[in-house]
Structure 1
Amino acid sequence: MATERPLRADARRNRDRLLEVAVRAFSRDGPDVTLDAIAKEAGVGIGTLYRHFPTREALIDAAYRNELARLCDSVGDLLRDMPPDQALRTWMDRFVDYMTTKRGMGDALRALIASGGNPFSESRDQLTAAVSTLLRAGAAAGMLRTDIEPDDVLVGFSGVSLATAGPERREQAGRLLDLLMDGLRLQR
């Protein structure tokens, strides 16, 4: 079995830029946005786009999974840079942003699923692992309760996100996340 060679720095930048633009374009214009328009907005040729993503479905899948990875991979940096309770609260805001992006890409994701893809195959496991890490760090620091199921917390975040969809309700989402955070804190 051949192993994939790591991308050159310029190829990595092009790929990352294509994914960033694709999320924005699919959220704004839906699944029928032209790949040529995405390549142009990313500042690359269509051949570069197809080298990284041979099909529209591959681009949609990679764009969604990249957003998920960015969210989940941020846990380590947050825990390094701030106390665990603040890291969790900051991650909650990022989760709401992720859900907003996911909703924005809804038509594109549905088109991907209709073509036989499953962009969500690992989402729940990755999100639960991220929440688990944050909860364990908070419990170890004596800041968060130890009797919390990560999946329950994830459902709570999701509920807040769904109930407060739209930028005009972002302030309310923050207040609800603060309430949820208060319920997670260790009472002294």
Structure 2
Amino acid sequence: MRADARRNYERIVNVAREAFTEHGPEAPLDDIARRACVGPGTLYRHFPNREALIEAVYRADVEKLTERAAELAESHSPGDALAEWVREHVGFVVQNHGLAATLKAAMDRDSQTFALCKTMLYDAAENMVVAAQDVGAIRDDIKPRDLLLMAHGIGSASQNSPDAAPRLVEVMLDGLRRQEP
């Protein structure tokens, strides 16, 4: 993709995220194009239909979260990387729960994008869990899916009381730690 086309694509995705947050998945596409400072033709060249745009927004958010896991793994010890990623994952769910739920509901559950995003999150969690287990930072009976379910559950449960999320994450992390006999 040319640099200008890449910039347009990213601008459209960012504006669409805002529009979907404000108006749900039925936000007018022409309004998104106008707010992104592109013509409707440019929007439709990148995203032939509404579902393609919804999937792009969802995929971009998941990519950001999974890329963050890799960054943390490179710059922190495995246990610290996992703990920080869980904190960021829960924060992401708290901040974007309504949008993510709306986008997931508007997406075809059998779509390649949905399957890809699920795989990307699972792979990131697996890398974090295995690395932390290998150094004895967390219990051996923890599965990547457990980590994702707990983080998502805390984020979802904290929607109406976001100050609870950090405290609940710390309780979760204490429960993940390997207990010395």
TM-score, normalisation: structure 2: 0.85
For residue 109 of structure 1, report the CA deviation from its aligned partner. 4.0
Give the match's secondary structure for 2:114.
coil
Distance between the aligned counterparts of 2:102 and 2:6, measured in 1? Answer: 27
Distance between the aligned counterparts of 1:94 and 1:19, measured in 2? Answer: 21
Q: Which residue of 1 aligns with 2:76?
A: 82
Q: Which residue of 2 aligns with 1:12?
A: 6
Q: 1:1-188 alignment to 2 at 5 Å?
A: 7-99=1-93, 100-113=95-108, 120-166=114-160, 169-188=161-180
Give the match's secondary structure for 2:115.
coil
Distance between the aligned counterparts of 1:16 and 1:97, measured in 2? Answer: 23
Comparing 43-52 and 93-102, the one that deviates more: 93-102
Counterparts in 2 of 1:27 and 1:48: CA distance versus 1, 3 Å: same
Distance between the aligned counterparts of 1:173 and 1:57, measured in 2? Answer: 31
Distance between the aligned counterparts of 2:174 and 2:5, measured in 1? Answer: 44
Q: Is the 8 A contact 1:31 1:108 kept in 2?
A: yes
Distance between the aligned counterparts of 1:139 and 1:117, measured in 2? Answer: 33
TM-score, normalisation: structure 1: 0.82
For residue 172 of structure 1, report the CA deviation from its aligned partner. 0.6
The one-letter code sitting in structure 2 at the alignment partner of 1:68 is: V
Distance between the aligned counterparts of 1:184 and 1:104, measured in 2? Answer: 29
Give the match's secondary structure for 1:50.
helix
Gaps of 5+ in 2: none
Counterparts in 2 of 1:28 and 1:90: CA distance versus 1, 3 Å: farther
Kindly provide the CA deviation profile for residues 165-185 of structure 1, in whole angstroms up to 9, marking residues without a partner as x: 14xx22211111111111112
Count matched residues: 179
Q: Is the 8 A contact 1:39 1:45 kept in 2?
A: yes
Q: Is the 8 A contact 1:139 1:145 kept in 2?
A: yes
Counterparts in 2 of 1:97 and 1:50: CA distance versus 1, 3 Å: farther
CA RMSD of the aligned region, Å?
2.3
Share of identical aligned residues, percent? 37
Distance between the aligned counterparts of 1:105 and 1:123, measured in 2? Answer: 12
Q: Is the 8 A contact 2:97 2:156 kept in 1?
A: no
